[in-house]
Amino acid sequence: MGKLIAGNWKMFKGPTETLEFFDGFEAPEGVEVVLCPPFVSLEAAVGEEWPIYAQNVHWATDGAFTGEISAAMLVELGVQGTLVGHSERRLYFGESDETVRLRAEAALAAGLGVIACVGETEAEREAGDTDAVLRRQVAVLPQHEQLVIAYEPVWAIGTGKTATPELAQEAHALIKSLHDTRVLYGGSVKPENAAELLTQPDVDGALVGGASLDAASFSSLCQIAASLS
């Protein structure tokens, strides 16, 4: 099985920019690619050849939840999966371990793939709490063949900082001891540092933010991943 490279576009790229991206994006054989556009661009993206994931999903099938999207709605649109628990959702929008669990379970029950994000803040790492934080966050996640975990040290998200390959490997090994799944690394991954991270034995791929917005950059990153598979 090849490396899994997922691009999280966050709040970038409407439908027009989404189609322009795919005009310039190429990925070789030997790498799995997933792209996560914002909700308004999902319909434009699902017509392309790569699996498209949403950036979030609600646990209810329907109801009075203004601004939320159900798993059934994503399935109807042709979306194949979703992120849950991204650090920005936890930080800015009140996500908890419990709501991450609920979202993951609802998505999996609907037949969607799930990339569930876990990771410690800088303060938690400095306090020596990384192990405890990861154990707590991973413990609530269901065991399921369609669930993948992304380890994203919060202090490395959009900061330009990256965990050393050794730190990434240590965290991934811990997660794999707790949960039988593939584990991606997320945190300022770019073509310049991808190879040293992806060669770690327990790093099964990457969740890419900023570097996934440029078609050439993301194509290059996918080529690096394919060469290591």
Locate the DSSP E strands across the chain: 3-8, 31-36, 53-54, 81-84, 113-118, 147-151, 183-186, 205-208
Task: Tell which phi-psi region holds residue 204, choosing left (phi > 0), alpha (psi between -120 and 50) or beta.
Answer: alpha
Catalytic residue status for 152? yes
Give yes or no for a contact between 226 and 6, defined as CB atoms under 8 angstroms apart: no
User: How far apart (Å, rounded) are the C-alpha atoms in residues 77 and 148?
Assistant: 22
Identify the active-site residue in 58, 152, 172, 179.
Answer: 152
User: How far apart (Å, rounded) are the C-alpha atoms in residues 37 and 18?
Assistant: 8
Catalytic residue status for 29? no
Identify the active-site residue in 32, 58, 86, 105.
Answer: 86
DSSP character for 171?
H
- Which residues are CB-contacts of 31 (< 8 A; sequence separation ≥ 6)? 2, 3, 4, 5, 222, 223, 225, 226, 229
Give yes or no for a contact between 229 and 2, defined as CB atoms under 8 angstroms apart: yes
User: How far apart (Å, rounded) are the C-alpha atoms in residues 70 and 103?
Assistant: 9
Q: Which residues are catalytic?
A: 86, 152
